[in-house]
Amino acid sequence: MKNKLVAEILYEIADLLDIKGEIFFKTRAYRMAAQTIEMLDEDIETVTKEGRLRSISGVGEALAKKIQEIVETERLDYLEKLKKEVPEGLLGFLEISGLGPKKISALYRNLNITTIEELRKACVDGKLRSLDGFGEITERNIIRGITLKEKTSGRVLLNLAYIDGNSYLEYLKKFDKIDKVSLAGSLRRMKETIGDVDILASSDYADEVMDYFVGYDNVQRVLLKGSTKTSVLLNDNLQVDLRVVKKESYGAALQYFTGSKEHNVKMRGIAIKKGFKLNEYGLFNKETDKYIVGRDEKEVYNKLGLSYVEPELRENRGEIEVASNNKLPDIVGYNDIHGDFHVHSLWSDGTDSIETIADHAQKLGYEYVCIADHSQSLKVANGLSEDRVVKKIKEIEKINKKLKDFRVFCGTECDIKPDGTLDYSDSILKKFDFVGVGIHISFKMDKEEITQRIIKAMENKYVNFVAHPTCRIIGRREPFDLDIDKIFDVARETNTFLEINCFPDRLDLNDIHSKMAKEKNVQFVLGTDAHNLNHLSFMQFGIATARRGWLEKKDILNTYSLKEVEKTLGV
DNA sequence: GCCGTTTTCGGCCCGACTGTTTTCAGTCG
């Protein structure tokens, strides 16, 4: 699948054109197309082969030609040409807070600065202040921006932002001059990585709210402070923005600041077509500026002829079109889960006994938990030999006898060997209640080989699910280059569940793949891959991913009651 | 560069804050 490659190249062109001083709308066209292709729920190669590129929204004649070239040659002449015109280092400058295309261009044209080191030195030496639009403060801010960029690589994993964001939220809720307050931005949409935390509040005392906001213990520095918007940097270098609006604007503002940007652009387009104007203060009559709605988020959607769109769906992946037909899926809820299918115990590399895990799972309101320990060849993780599997099954039987209205399933996360055979014999596999398979060694294989390896495993009749199917680790390991359509087809044919692994640095399958798989009627399980009790709470991130993938209760085994699971699995 | 039920040309979302200015450009989301 080359969707990501195509998107990356288009994004890079947009950045390069920005620095070259190309008009905003042109670079936006590149970014919109890149975003659409990145989120596309089919393979761009297929679309190209079938001559349907122009049917992708935002792709016209020029882009179609470029995309075709990328798909066929995995490169683009136009990009190479642009790269020759714009020194490589300048692209990285865009990540420095306070620097945009115009300033970067000025730095290059006037001072011939092309590397971070040259930039830092020029700031320290006070060379920038001679340029129009630059001053001493700009120099200091750029130095700060460089330091910050070096400290944080930009985005953090969802769970970290989630903790920071919700703690801040609790602090804000204690202030009696705040009427309503909510997370917004990508954190409310539960995106897998978060750039900064956005919070929205309504109040008639904006200035006092801002004073209270910057008084939070965990604040390292105030970045900017106004009466509607204030930004701070937390001690862990995560940025948090607070917006304060009046009550009558709260819904419109929440819609606006939740994003995504692309979702909002589309919303505004619809507003204009219907004779409205939509901004963070409300929905207004375009001609008279008369306020129509804005107090409640739902009203804004409804007034535009749309059903309410859950935050996790707001990525411009077709949700607006579907909402206009009132056909949005009833996506799985955060409280719809009855159990966890992927937990490691002391038997392999987990830190807790099965009894302790079962006890904790009951406290979470679950009816079942599946203990899926590693298999024998994974020595580093204390994988279970076939003998130990038999012993573990006996222990689980004993524990289950003591439990009421709760069941521990004996599972495994059995290794898929490089040739696609499994790490346990069939005679052992059939003893488990629920067999998961996963890859933990020999990651470097070509597309055909790795696809066949997983398919062969799915074809084993004792296999129930594939754990973390693409094996990506966010920020550290790229996903396998799988023939993903084929994987989904075989999963459907063999009734193999695909896991959404809930571990925050995995979230694998991801949202886009989940949506693609659902369209092929694939069934899912959620597994936290917990290695200690705290990890069991990662379930919510898996649910978030499922929601972002448009999954409904019926698509996910964990939403079934214990009885239904037993019946489905025949155990 | 894309797009079209007023348009094949002339639009394209829009407001807040900062730092530089002395009325505004650039950046950000």
Q: Is the CB of A98 under 7 A from strand B?
A: yes
Instruction: Determine the CATH number of domain A258-324.
Output: 3.30.210.10
Per-residue model confidence (pLDDT) at position A237: 85
Residues comprising chain A, all counted: 571
Fold annotation for A339-569: TIM Barrel (3.20.20)
Per-residue model confidence (pLDDT) at position A560: 98
Q: Which nucleotide is nearest to A279 (CA to C1')?
A: B14
Region at A570 (left for phi over 0; alpha for psi -120 to 50; beta for the rest) = left
* Alpha helices per DSSP H over A40-96: 44-49, 61-73, 77-85, 88-93
Nearest to A428 by CA among A400, A387, A383: A387
Q: Is the CB of A188 under 7 A from strand B?
A: no
Domain A3-151 homologous superfamily, CATH: DNA polymerase beta, N-terminal domain-like (1.10.150.110)
For Cα atoms A74, A468, A56, give the angle at the middle one, nearest 5 degrees: 40
Q: How many CB atoms lie within 10 A of CB A127?
A: 18
Per-residue model confidence (pLDDT) at position A268: 86
Q: Which nucleotide is nearest to A27 (CA to C1')?
A: B1
Q: Is A372 in contact with A347 (CB distance < 8 Å)?
A: no
Q: Is the CB of A362 under 7 A from strand B?
A: no
Q: For strand B, which residues in window 16-45 of chain A come within 7 Å by CB?
A: 23, 25-26, 28-30, 33
Give distance CA A345 / C1' B16 (Å): 52
Q: Which nucleotide is nearest to A134 (CA to C1')?
A: B20
Q: Which amino acid is at A441?
A: I
How do residues A15-53 score in pLDDT, each as one tens digit? 999 888 888 889 889 988 998 898 888 889 999 999 999
Stretches where chain A sits below pLDDT 50 are none
Q: For strand B, which residues in window 240-269 of chain A come within 7 Å by CB?
A: 241, 257, 259, 261, 264-265, 268-269
Give distance CA A131 / C1' B22 (Å): 18
Domain boundaries, chain A: 3-151, 156-245, 258-324, 339-569
Instruction: Determine the CATH number of domain A156-245.
Output: 3.30.460.10
Give distance CA A133 / C1' B25 (Å): 8
Give distance CA A150 / C1' B7 (Å): 49
How do residues A380-408 score in pLDDT, each as one tens digit? 788 999 999 999 999 999 999 999 999 99
User: What are residue A415's phi and psi, to 5 degrees?
Assistant: -65, 140
Residue A379 is classified by DSSP as G
Q: Which amino acid is at A377?
A: S
* Whole-prediction pTM: 0.84
Per-residue model confidence (pLDDT) at position A153: 63
Give distance CA A278 / C1' B17 (Å): 21
Give distance CA A520 / C1' B11 (Å): 40
Nearest to A193 by CA among A247, A153, A166: A153
Give distance CA A185 / C1' B29 (Å): 9
